[in-house]
Amino acid sequence: MTTRKSPSKKQRALEILQRLKHLYPDATCSLNYSTPVQLLVATILSAQCTDERVNKVTPALFGRFPDAASLANADLEELENLVRSTGFYRNKAKNIQAACRMIATEFDSVVPNQMEQLLKLPGVARKTANVVLAHAYGINAGVTVDTHVKRLSQRLGLTKHAEPIKIEQDLMKLLPQPDWENWSIRLIYHGRAICKARSPACSACELADLCPTSDK
C-alpha cells in the first residue's frame, strides 16, 4: 500500500500563490495616486477604511494639496474636513501633515525608499511602508499584512499568529521575496471576492483543496 505524503506548508503556500496569480492576473493596488507622496497619503487614509472610500476622498484632497509641501503647510482644519469620511480623521490628518513636514524637511521632499526611514514618518508602520516601497519603488521589503491578508493567511493555515508583524515574518519565510507583494495584492482580491470575513464561500473557492479550514 502506498501512502501519499501531504504537502509541506511551504509547498502549499507556493501552490496557493500560483493559483492566485492565475485567478487574479491583473491584480494591482486599488488606491488611486499619481506620486509616491499621494500613495503614502492614500495608504494612511486606508487604515480602518475601504480603498473605495479613500478613492472618493483623494481627488478633492490631491486637487487642493497635491504634494508634500502643500500638505505640510495646509490648514489642519481644512485637511481634517477633506479626509473626514475615511474615519479617525483627526489622527489621520495630523499624521499626514506631520509625515509631509518630515519629508519636506528631512528628505528633500522625496518619500524615502528605505524601510528604516519610512518607519520614522508619523503614522507609518510596516504595512504602509511595504505598500509604498512595493508600488512606488518596486521594492519587495516585506509582506503587506492588512485585515484580508491576516484573515486568509490564518484560514489557509500558514500562520498561527494574530500580530501582523509575526504573520509577516511567517509569510516571508514561506514565499519567494519577488512575490511578497504579489501575494498580498492577490490575497486581498480573494478576501474581497470569496473568503469574506463573515461568510467564506468555500464551495466556490479555488483554494479549497489546499485550505485546512475549508467547509467544502
Residues tagged in the binding site annotation for [4Fe-4S] cluster: 195, 202, 205, 211
Q: Which is nearer to ligand SF4, 101 or 161 (CB)?
A: 161
Torsion of CA 156, 161, 166, 167, to 10 degrees: 20
Annotated binding-site members: 195, 202, 205, 211
Q: Which is nearer to ligand SF4, 100 or 207 (CB)?
A: 207
By C-alpha distance, which of 154, 152, 157, 86 is closest to 123? 86
Is 209 a catalytic site residue?
A: no
Is 146 a catalytic site residue?
A: yes
By C-alpha distance, which of 212, 161, 11, 200 is closest to 143? 161
CA 55 – CA 215 distance, rounded (Å)? 35
Query: Which among 9, 75, 120, 127 is annotated as catalytic?
Result: 127
H/E stretch holding 209 reads none
Query: Which among 51, 146, 170, 179 is annotated as catalytic?
Result: 146
Q: Centre a 10 Å sphere on the Cβ of residue 73 and count the other Cβ atoms it contains.
A: 12
Q: Which is nearer to ligand SF4, 45 or 211 (CB)?
A: 211
CB 147, min distance to ligand SF4, A: 14
Q: Which residues form the interface with ligand SF4 (CB under 6 A)?
A: 152, 155-156, 194-195, 200-202, 205, 207-208, 211, 213-214
Quick one: cell of 71?
500638505
Q: Which residues are annotated as catalytic?
A: 127, 146
